[in-house]
């Protein structure tokens, strides 16, 4: 049942051909077997997971099951889950046991889903390769010498390796879409504000957004039905009528206008990725879509704007980790100031400290106007580019990542090259738009290793998730890239 969709698993559970306990145990056994190789999970609590599965079986037996009741879901270790260790991939929180549930966790609990464990991630979601985690790097199931992408690399690796039925992720500058592309799975970042950030440990509050990662668009739609909804505890949560994101999955695509930004197909895009994306566009033409050439002239500024704004917000958000109330505290210090300095120096990793320093700098007196305010103005121009583009097309498509998965350690000494891994995804977060990545073939990494997955990015207008999922689903009905899994598994 490892390759079954969430719909198929739900049907099997309701038909009682398999129990939630049996299904959960099968995934726990796979985690025990394969996680040492991939390092996708940082915390597994078999007793708690099986207790949730037993409760789900009771719901199923009573006929009160919902679509995801009894299905084992992995949770990114950025979501607080009551009684679970919640580390955010950092030494700073390596022993933190969450006293409450994040909104996303509450939603899955209400749906009767089983929490299979907490997945590894770049420290405080800062990274594009899942190499900054205090608990060590995650490995890509397609090639264990390659990165899975980040920061939701543990979730992506777990889904690709069939160590869970589906997983949650978060996306600040591409952290759902980029690892989804590099691991050959489907992932969607919803419109900013549609999923509550309550209980989601903050990196950059105006950019962070939670979303699902799964094998297919249909699976993501079912998960999005659970994850979205107004939450008064989050001031950025949008109060909207509930949606059924599966409602349009089977609509034909005749008349669909696909915008192709010239900036997404310029220098820096590897040829193997470009070829697979063009193949996907050709498939959409067969499905009835028409192509519109568009431009996003300010998208070239997205990376520098992001690396002013995101570190500025991180500098503010991470100031709470001071060694006083909770989290890591240095074992030896002379006074309060020394405790602050040593706790933060020892508790944070190099990438997190780098971004805190950048963020503090751009917010400091004399530089706030020159950097931070200018970046906010350009952010508005980037959003306006998308507004203008959607007057010409229904969705925008292009590559998710400029290359297939690179090798572990390959970009560790060059932060700028690492940051450019998100060059096609960052603008979507700056504008607050929904975006997703779906598998569209395989590329040659040029390293003599196996062919690696390529992701097609689909960008929609605000609150257009249902249409995006329809567009992705129709492509997945016509192709089988989303069904492929690493042969060694």
Q: Tell me which residues are annotated as active site.
A: 76, 151, 175
Q: Which residues pair with 291 in a beta bridge?
A: 258
Under 8 Å between Cβ of 354 and 126: no
Angle at 165 between CA 104 and CA 98, to 5 degrees: 35
Q: What is the 3-state secondary structure (H, E, C) of the chain?
A: CCCCCHHHHHHHHHCCCCCHHHHHHHHHHHHHHHHHHHCCEEECCHHHHHHHHHHHHHHHHHCCCCCCCCCEEEEECCECCCCCECCCCCHHHCCCECCCCCHHHHHHHHCCCEEEEEECCCHHHCCCCCCCCCCCCCCECCECCECCCCCCHHHHHHHHCCCCCEEEEEECCCCCHHHHHHHCCEEEECCCCCCCCCCECCCCCCCCEEEEEECCHHHHHHHHHHHCCCCCCCCCCCCCCCCCCCCCCCCCCCCCEEEEEHHHHCCCCCHHHHHHHHHHHHHHHHCCCEEEEECCCCHHHHHHHHHHHHHHHHHHHHHHCCCCCCCCCCCCCCCHHHHHHHHHHHHCCHHHHHHHHHHHHHHCCCCHHHHHHHHHHHHHHHHHHHHHHCCCCCEEEEECCCCCCCECCCCCCCHHHHHHHHCCCHHHHHHCCCEEEEEEEEECCCCCCCCEEEEEEEECCCCCHHHHHHHHHHHHHHCCHHHCCCCCC
Instruction: Specify the pairing of strand 435-443 against strand 209-214.
Output: unpaired
Tell me the two tokens of residue 275.
């070829």
Quote the CA–CA distance of 158 and 136 in Å, as a whole number.
15
Task: Please give the radius of gyration of the chain, using alpha carbons only, rounded to the nearest integer.
Answer: 21
Residue 171 backbone phi and psi in degrees, to 5: -135, 110
């Amino acid at each position: 049942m490892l390759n079954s969709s969430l719909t198929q698993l739900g049907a099997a559970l309701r038909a009682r051909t398999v129990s939630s306990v049996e299904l959960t145990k099968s995934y726990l056994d796979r985690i025990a077997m394969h996680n040492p190789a991939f390092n996708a999970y940082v915390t597994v609590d078999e007793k708690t997971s099986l207790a949730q599965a037993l409760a789900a079986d009771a719901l199923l037996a009573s006929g009160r099951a919902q679509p995801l009741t009894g299905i084992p879901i992995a949770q990114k270790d950025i979501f607080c889950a009551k009684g679970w260790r919640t580390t955010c991939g950092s030494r700073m929180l390596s022993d933190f046991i969450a006293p409450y549930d994040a909104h996303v966790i509450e939603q899955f609990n209400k749906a009767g889903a089983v929490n299979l464990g907490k997945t590894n991630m770049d420290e405080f979601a800062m990274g594009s390769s899942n190499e900054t985690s205090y608990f060590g790097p995650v490995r890509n199931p397609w090639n264990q010498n390659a990165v899975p992408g980040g920061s939701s690399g543990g979730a992506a690796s777990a889904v690709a390796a069939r160590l869970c039925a589906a997983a949650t992720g978060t996306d600040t500058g591409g952290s759902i879409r980029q690892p989804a592309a590099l691991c050959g799975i489907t992932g969607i970042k919803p419109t900013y504000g549609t999923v509550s950030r309550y209980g989601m440990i903050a990196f950059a509050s105006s950019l962070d957004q939670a979303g699902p990662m799964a094998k297919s668009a249909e699976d993501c739609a079912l998960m999005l039905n659970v994850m979205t909804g107004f939450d008064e505890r989050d001031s950025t949560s949008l109060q909207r009528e509930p949606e059924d994101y599966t409602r349009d999955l089977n609509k034909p695509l005749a008349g669909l206008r696909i915008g192709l930004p010239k900036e997404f197909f310029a220098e820096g895009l590897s040829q193997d990725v470009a070829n697979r994306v063009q193949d996907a566009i050709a498939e959409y033409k067969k499905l009835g879509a028409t192509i519109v050439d568009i431009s996003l002239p300010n998208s070239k500024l997205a990376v520098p704007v992001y690396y002013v704004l995101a570190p500025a917000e991180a500098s503010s958000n991470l100031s709470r980790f001071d060694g006083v109330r909770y989290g890591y505290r240095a074992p030896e210090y002379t006074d309060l100031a020394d405790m602050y300095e040593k706790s933060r120096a020892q508790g944070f990793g190099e990438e997190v400290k780098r971004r805190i320093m950048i963020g503090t700098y751009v917010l400091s007196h004399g530089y706030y106007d020159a950097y931070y305010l200018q970046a906010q103005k350009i952010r508005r121009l980037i959003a306006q580019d998308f507004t203008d583009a959607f007057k010409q097309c229904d969705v925008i498509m292009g590559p998710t990542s400029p290359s297939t998965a690179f090798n572990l350690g390959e970009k560790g000494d060059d932060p700028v090259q690492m940051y450019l891994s998100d060059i096609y995804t960052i603008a979507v977060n700056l504008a607050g738009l929904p975006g997703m990545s779906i598998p569209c073939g395989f590329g040659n990494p040029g390293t003599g290793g196996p062919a690696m997955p390529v992701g097609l990015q689909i960008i929609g207008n605000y609150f257009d998730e249902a249409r995006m999922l329809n567009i992705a689903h129709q492509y997945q009905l016509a192709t089988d890239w989303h069904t492929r899994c690493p042969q060694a598994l």
